[in-house]
Chain A
Amino acid sequence: MSLLTVDDLSVVYDQGHGRAVEAVKRVGFTLEQGEFVGLVGESGSGKSTLGYALTRLSKPPARIAGGRILFDGSDIAALSIEQVRTQRQGGFAMVLQSGMNALNPVRTIRNHFMDVFAAHGHVPLGARAARAEELIAKVELPASVLASYPGELSGGMRQRVSIALALSLEPRMIVFDEPTTALDVLVQHAVMNTIRQLQATEKFTAILISHDLGVVLEATERVLVMHDGVIVEDAPSRRILSAPEHPYTRMLLSHYGDPRAAEVSVPGLSRRASGEVSVAAPTTTPSPRRAAREPIVVSNVSKVYPARRRGAAVRAVDDVSFTLEPGMSMALVGASGSGKSTIAKLVTGVERPTAGSIAFGDLRIDRLHGRRALKRLHADVQMVFQDPYAALNPLHTVEYILSRPIENFVELRGREVRMRVLELLETVGLTPAATFAGRLPHQLSGGQRQRVVIARALASDPQVIIADEPVSMLDMSLRAGVLALLEELRENRGVSMLYITHDLLSARLVTDRIMVLNKGVVVERGDTADVLQRPQDDYTVRLLDAVPNPARP
Chain B
Amino acid sequence: MRYFWGRVGLFVLTLWAAVTLNFILPRLMPGSPADAAIAKLSQNGPVSPAMRASIEAQLGVPSGSVWSQYLSYLGQVVHFDFGVSYSYFPQPVSSLIGAALPWTLVLVGSVTVIAFVVGTLLGVVAAWRRGTVLDTVPTVGGQFLSAFPYFWIALLLLFFLGYVAGWFPTSGAYSQTATPNWSLSFFGDALDHAILPGLTILITSFGGWIIGMRNTMVNTLGEDYVTFAEANGLRPRSVAMRYAARNALLPQFTSFGMVLGGVVGGSLLVETVFAYPGVGLLLFHAVTNQDYPLMQALFLIITVSVLIANFLVDILYGVLDPRTRQ
Contacts and interface: CB of A to CB of B under 8 A. Distances in A.
Contact of B232 (A81, A87, A119, A152): A119
Nearest to B322: A149
A57 B242 contact: no
A464 interface: no
A310 B326 contact: yes
A531 interface: no
A86 B231 CA distance: 11
Given A88-B233, A169-B233, A103 B225 contact: yes
B11 interface: no
Contacts of B312: none
A96 B227 contact: yes
A293 B260 CA distance: 63
Contacts of B233: 84-89, 116, 119-120, 169
A93 B232 contact: yes
Nearest to A99: B224
Which one of A87, A97, A104, A152 has the greatest number of beta carbons of chain B within 10 Å?
A104
Contact of B238 (A81, A100, A119, A152): A119
Given A106-B247, A149-B323, A310-B326, A165 B232 contact: yes
Contacts of B236: 81, 85
Contacts of A86: 233
B7 to A, nearest CB: 13
B237 to A, nearest CB: 10
Contacts of B79: none
Contacts of B321: 105-106
Nearest to B221: A59
A162 B235 CA distance: 18
B247 A101 contact: no
Contact of A96 (B228, B246, B322): B228
Contacts of B8: none
B231 A93 contact: yes
A87 B232 CA distance: 10
A29 B231 CA distance: 22
A152 B242 contact: no
> How many A residues are at the interface, by size bracket?
35 or more
A386 interface: no
A105 B242 CA distance: 11
Nearest to A94: B231
A107 interface: yes
Given A86-B233, A119-B233, A120-B233, A106 B228 contact: no
A151 interface: yes
B234 A105 contact: no
Contact of B224 (A101, A119, A309): A101
Interface in A289-321: 309-310
B224 A106 contact: no
Contact of A85 (B225, B235, B247): B235
Given A88-B233, A116-B234, A149-B322, A102 B242 contact: no
B299 interface: no
Nearest to B246: A106
A158 B120 CA distance: 31
Contacts of A118: 238
Contacts of B168: none
B248 to A, nearest CB: 11
A88 to B, nearest CB: 3
Nearest to A105: B323
Given A106-B321, A106-B322, A101 B235 contact: no
A166 B229 CA distance: 10
B320 A106 contact: yes
Contacts of A165: 228, 232
Interface of B: 2, 223-225, 227-236, 238, 242-243, 246-247, 250, 320-323, 326
Interface of A: 55, 57, 81, 84-89, 93-94, 96-98, 100-107, 115-116, 118-120, 149, 151-152, 162, 165-166, 168-169, 309-310
The 5 lowest CB-CB distance pairs between A and B, nearest first, are A88-B233, A101-B224, A149-B322, A94-B231, A102-B228
17 contacts: A57-B230, A84-B233, A102-B227, A102-B228, A104-B229, A105-B225, A105-B323, A106-B250, A106-B320, A106-B321, A116-B232, A116-B233, A119-B232, A152-B326, A165-B228, A166-B231, A310-B326
Given A85-B236, A96-B231, 7 more contacts: A57-B230, A88-B231, A96-B227, A100-B224, A102-B227, A105-B323, A168-B232
